[in-house]
Amino acid sequence: MAPPNTTANTTSTTPTTTTTTATISGFPTQDFLRYLARGPAVGDLPSFDVGDKWSTFIERLDQYFTGNYVQGDRRVCLLLTAISSAVYEVLRELCHPDLPKSKSFNELTELLANQYSPKISVWRNRLTFDSLRQEQGETVSSWYVRVKKYSMDCEFAQLLDNFVKYKFVTGLRKGPILDRICEEDSVKTLKEVVELAVKKESSSSYHEQGAPLNAIRTTKGGQQQKKKTSQGTTSTPWRSTGRQTPKAGAEKSENPRPTSQKGSPKQVLCFACNKPSHDFRACKYKTYRCKICKQVGHVAAACKQPSDNKYLITNNSDVLDLDQIGLFNLSISDNFYTSVDPYTIKLLVNDVLISFEIDTG
């Protein structure tokens, strides 16, 4: 007996491989393993406290998250760790009755941004921007950075570079740098204008590497001070000696009072005894009567009248007594030169650098 006809349906199954991506701690395993293999965290977690700029903090925090593969809810943990205790207390009050950790990262950042981002007035910022001027002693690079800083909250949008270039040029101090830029076409870009100004500043005669500017200052308390000049020499102010007005009847001598030996620094001598290193007001000889002019107030050695006394040694000198008007005496050199170039000094007059030739007599 033949077996019944049976139809056997044979199904050939081919095993299929399903690829699944596991996630650990909020991001793919592959990134997590790379994070573990990388080692210590990249950089330091930025912190935020009351008084800090919120926009700067959130930018740095975002870069920290990117560099360290921080994603998902882990961002909330690090954000709450980065803010100070005072800021966290404010955040708890803003989130009440919920706790900050129950909020999403975007919700927390929105609350903090509304609390710590100051409201700005665009027109007020533009008025401040328009009033900027380069300060005395401010370098071109520092001036450019200051212009960029004040343009941040003016909302110039696509016209930012044009406004910054306009203020950078029009706010420069009057001088060779501004004159050099004015020689160029207005089509130059902001970068080209700044580079041109920096190069001109580097080669300018009044740059730090060149001759320094000189200032005129008075002295207090009768003390001598020295100031370096553009020729590398020093200028010495005269020291007040308390000189008194001569009494009536006293005649002036054609020859000034004797000074110290030639070649040594000039010293102010006492009007009573003709000796240095002390004040006329403290000299005991100021009450003596002179044997030459018969006047009270000095001795014969300090008398200014001509005398037939052959034993009284006098020394001709070209010393000019400036102790009453407080000017400086410019000492050029102790050496004698038969021919030298004229000495000049650079002074800033009404923001214009002018070179003056010194009259050495």
Q: What is the pLDDT of residues 68-98, one digit of tens each?
A: 888 888 899 999 999 999 999 999 999 999 9
d(CA 333, CA 263): 11
Question: How many other C-beta atoms are found inside a 10 Å radius of the C-beta of residue 6?
Answer: 5
Task: Give the domain ranges of the chain.
Answer: 23-116, 137-203, 213-239+326-361, 241-318
**Confidence grade of residue 11 (pLDDT, cut at 50, 70, 90):** very low
Q: What is the pLDDT of residue 104?
A: 92
Q: How many Å from the N-terminal Cα to the C-terminal Cα in the chain?
A: 151
d(CA 60, CA 71): 15
Answer for the pair 294, 307: CB distance below 8 angstroms, yes or no: no
Q: What is the pLDDT of residues 108-126, one digit of tens each?
A: 999 999 888 878 888 999 9
Query: 297-322 burial by CB neighbour count: b if 16+ within 10 A, else e?
Result: bbbbbbbbeebeeeeeebeeeeeeee
The two tokens of residue 77 are: 């943990």
Residue 331 sits at φ, ψ, to 5 deg, of -95, 115
In total, the chain counts a number of residues equal to 361
Q: What is the pLDDT of residues 23-41, one digit of tens each?
A: 444 555 565 555 555 556 7
